[in-house]
Structure 1
Amino acid sequence: MPHLQIQARALGDPTRHRIFRAIASADGPCDVASLTEQFGLNHNAIRQHLAKLVSADLVQESVAAPSGRGRPRLQYLVAPAAESRWGVTGPYERLSMWLAEALATNETPVELGRRVGREEYRPAGGSAGPIEDLAAQMSHQGFDPTVTGSGDVVEIVLGECPFASAVLVSPDTVCGVHLGLAEGAAEAIGGIEVESLSPRDPRTAHCVLRCRVTSTD
């Protein structure tokens, strides 16, 4: 079945569609408890709806950072595959809003990206270290990252460029935003620095972030 049809079928249930819209409009990740309270359903019903949304690649599931005793909770964000569909803001809408803000604030593309990277940082949770956390942030932005290498210096290969068409028009501007997004997320994470971004042809992607782990605490 085509991917779009799978997503449409998953959203065909009115309650599930409302849950998806709640996740899409939230300021940060949602969890089962908050959705249960919002919709007045039991935990199992919410989990079943979330499982359908995850299976349809509409929502991403991750483990929240531990907080006290007990099993870490699961949290949910809209998946990159759902962007620009089903009423969800897509990458080009986000980029246009960011650049409009930069015009008003006189920020450079890198400064803009750093600010957005810090503001939109969401902890990866679980036992993720700094490099895994940074890769998770780039995944949330739609870059499809893969970590290569080991030790203090590693590379994150960005398998997708969510702003490919814009890069072809203004590579210095958009790649500057890319670099800033990574640097801002790294600042929010702590224990990792982004040393450089090696751009590639945006149509084939695979730009490379070179990163240095400074602490694993």
Structure 2
Amino acid sequence: MANLQVQARALGDPTRHKVFRAIVDGDAPLDVAHLTAEFGLNHNAIRQHLAKLVAADLVEETVAAPSGRGRPRLQYTVAPGAESRWGVTGPYERLSMWLAEAITSKETPVELGRRVGREGYRAAGASSSPIEEMVAQMSRQGFDPSVRNDGEVVEIVLGECPFASAVLVAPDTVCGVHLGLAEGAAEVIGGIEVESLSPRDPRTAHCVLRCRVVNPN
């Protein structure tokens, strides 16, 4: 993990800091084309800024799933090394704030998650399907989702658990919040219902969120 001085130097450039904030605030992983359009810079300039951010452990570079001919595009998300730093709220900070609110509001974990899921929803794109929207919400929360389709029933496999340590201590509470997050997002998205969440060992993740695509009519 890069130290604070390295990260501070990387963010010292104003444009690079704006690129970093765009990735932090993004609804889903961003690629070079998106950032080029947003900042009006050429591809090489954006790539140079991204390389500095990756080297400083502020941003992670991954290969997106293939979508047609040509090379798979690279996409960028906030790195774990940036969590709880530089204005980035880490997953345990989010969880602690939610649970503190629940103590005051006396909500159940699922009720709390539902409210947070509704309030924190960000549209992934005007042309996105309900499943793509749900995947984007789970990605924003740090669950690294992938999709298994079976007709109208869709299983979203969650490759990471951002709350793994907390789940080991209080699985019913934390998994209840997670289920509520998905249900709250589904309420806003429309056209999708959450049927169940099947937890796994949080240290290896791969919990399964089972959803059904419904006809809005």
Q: Does 109-118 or 77-86 show the bigger shift?
A: 77-86
Structure 1 residue runs of 5 or longer lacking an equivalent are: 37-42, 61-76
> In 2, distance between residues paired with 1:200 and 1:125?
30
Instruction: Please give the secondary structure, in 2, of the residue aligned with 1:122.
Output: coil
Are 1:52 and 2:49 counterparts? yes
Q: What is the TM-score of this pair, normalised by structure 2?
A: 0.73
* Structure-2 change in CA distance of 1:135 and 1:25 (3 Å): closer
Match of 2:67 in 1: none
Distance 1:170 1:182 in 2: 19
Identity of aligned residues (%): 59
Whether the 8 Å contact between 1:113 and 1:177 is mirrored in structure 2 is yes
Q: Are the structure 2 counterparts of residues 104 and 50 from structure 1 closer, same or farther at C-alpha, using a change threshold of 3 Å?
A: farther
Q: Report the Cα distance in structure 1 between the residues aligned to 2:27 and 2:124, rounded to whole angstroms.
A: 12
- Post-superposition CA distance 1:113-168 (Å, at most 9, x none): 11111111111115321111101110000000010123200100111000000000
How many residue pairs were aligned?
193
User: CA separation in 1, counterparts of 2:162 and 2:21?
Assistant: 24
**What's the CA shift string for 1:9-49, capped at 9, x where partnerless?**
9825421353156548869899879x76xxxxxx2279944
Residue in 2 aligned with 1:66?
A: none
Q: Under a length normalisation based on structure 1, what TM-score does the superposition of the two structures give?
A: 0.73
Once residues 46 and 8 of structure 1 are traced to their aligned partners in structure 2, the CA distance between those partners, rounded to angstroms, is 23
Cα distance in 2 for partners of 1:27, 1:18 equals 14
Instruction: Provide the secondary structure at the position in 2 that maps to 1:44.
Output: coil
SS state at 1:166 partner: helix
1:152–1:214 contact (8 Å) kept in structure 2: yes
Q: For residues 187 and 48 of structure 1, do their structure 2 counterparts lie closer, same or farther at Cα, with a shift above 3 Å needed?
A: farther
Secondary structure of the structure 2 residue equivalent to 1:104: helix
Counterpart position of 1:67: none
Aligned to 1:71: none
Residue correspondence of structure 1 range 79-158 to structure 2 within 5 A: 79=78, 81=80, 82-125=82-125, 127-158=127-158
Tell me how far apart the structure 2 counterparts of residues 151 and 138 of structure 1 sit (CA, whole Å): 21
Q: Specify the SS of the correspondent of 1:95.
A: helix
Confirm or deny: 8 A CA contact 1:80 1:142 kept in the other structure.
no
> Per-residue CA shift, 1:163-217, capped at 9, x if unaligned?
0000001000000001001111111111000000001110111110110000379
* SS across alignment from 2:210: strand
CA contact (8 A) 1:10 1:16 kept: no
Provide structure 2 residue ranges, at least 5 long, that are not aligned to the other structure. Answer: 62-75
Q: Is the 8 A contact 2:116 2:184 kept in 1?
A: yes
Contact 2:35–2:46, Cα closer than 8 Å, also in 1: no
Cα RMSD (Å) of the superposition? Answer: 3.7
